[in-house]
């Protein structure tokens, strides 16, 4: 097991979410599912803890009840190589969720994701501060990040 693992608290959808997330990324799988027994506190047979991997990184998901919900203070950042990857992940993750700004979205369970093309930090690091600021200005007007629009803003 990796030294530090992200632990996600769901009401009662941990297994459904893990199945969905693992369908999105290569090198992903559900590692194990521990279920509640007759002693509870959840319904017998319901997933209690789901251990899963996304792109080789391990996560734990708990069905802990409605006491806690996700906020934007924590998000999962996805480094995307192409616009096609951005588009595909954006489409799937916003199904039942919501688009926010600057490459951020919330999925149907309220978990925040940043779907960021590798080109964005590269363009924001342009040695020409005017170009970098033009890229920043373009990004601030976007929901889903558009690489070609960022490149146009940088004069490429």
State pLDDT tens for residues 83-142: 999 999 999 999 999 999 999 999 999 999 999 999 999 999 999 999 999 999 999 999
91/103 same-domain check? yes
Indicate the pTM of the whole model: 0.93
84/144 same-domain check? yes
Domain total for the chain?
A: 2
3-state secondary structure the chain: CCCCCEEEEECCCHHHHHHHHHHHCCCCEEEEEEECCCCCCCCCCCEEEEEEEECCEEEEEEECCCCCCCCCCCEEEEEECCHHHHHHHHHHHHCCCEECCCCEEECCCCCEEEEEECHHHHHHCCCCHHHHHHHHHHHHCCCCCCHHHHHHHCCC
Question: Per-residue pLDDT for 2 more than 90?
Answer: no
78/155 same-domain check? yes
In which band, very low, low, confident or very high, does the pLDDT at 40 lie, cut at 50, 70 and 90?
confident
pLDDT of residue 46: 95
- Residues of the chain with pLDDT > 70, as a percent, come to 99
Question: Per-residue pLDDT for 71 more than 80?
Answer: yes
51/100 same-domain check? no
99/146 same-domain check? yes
Rounded average pLDDT over 63-89: 97
pLDDT of residue 1: 67
- Domain range for 147: 70-156
């Amino acid at each position: 097991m990796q030294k530090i693992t992200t632990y996600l608290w769901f009401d009662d959808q941990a297994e459904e979410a893990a199945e969905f997330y693992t369908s999105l990324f290569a090198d992903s799988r559900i590692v194990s599912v521990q279920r509640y027994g007759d002693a509870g506190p959840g319904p017998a047979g319901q997933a209690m803890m789901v251990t899963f991997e996304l792109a080789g990184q391990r996560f734990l998901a708990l069905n802990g009840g409605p006491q806690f919900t996700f906020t934007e203070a924590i998000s999962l950042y996805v480094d995307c190589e192409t616009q096609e990857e951005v588009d595909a992940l954006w489409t799937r993750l916003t199904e039942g969720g919501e688009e926010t700004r600057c490459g951020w979205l919330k999925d149907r369970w309220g978990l925040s994701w940043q779907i960021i093309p590798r080109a964005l930090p590269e363009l924001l690091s342009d040695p020409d501060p005017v170009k970098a600021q033009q890229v920043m200005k373009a990004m601030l007007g976007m929901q889903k990040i558009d690489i070609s629009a960022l490149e146009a803003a940088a004069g490429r």
